[in-house]
Amino acid sequence: MTPFLRRILRIAWFPFFYGSRVVTSTLQVAWDILTPGSASVPALIEVPLRCRTDLEITAVANMVSLTPGTVTVATRTDPPTLWVHGMYTADERAFLDDIHQMEDYLLGLTRAGRTRAEPRGEETR
């Protein structure tokens, strides 16, 4: 498959990828509202990013804020970082992985000729 075709397919699939995140989060918040007690474990978490441009940082921040149960509180561009308030952060690693998966998908769309961004780790900072 050519890189151009792969990118077109990723762009076409993006609404379904992100839509599933929004629907899943909406159901989680609705379930918490409609049932007795509360399952929320709110926290403010620093999320390091691999985004390089303002467009990428802004897009990830907006994707996070548009997902029910999360909101981007602040951003920093050097090094790229988001501070995110999440309602369901009992497992901080899973919460970070979820945001990083959204970032990975976005970077696959914005960076031509690549299907994945460079690996995470200290060497990329």
Residue 3: per-residue pLDDT: 83
44-68: b (≥16 Cβ within 10 Å) or e = ebebbbbbeeeebbebbbebbeebb
Residue 6: per-residue pLDDT: 86
Q: What string of pLDDT tens digits covers the 125 residues of the chain?
A: 788 888 889 899 999 999 999 999 999 999 999 999 888 999 999 999 999 999 999 999 999 999 999 999 999 999 999 999 999 999 999 999 999 999 999 998 888 755 454 555 543 33
Whole-angstrom Cα distance, residue 41 to residue 38?
9
- With beta carbons less than 8 A apart as the criterion, state whether 68 and 86 touch: no
pTM of the entire predicted model: 0.83
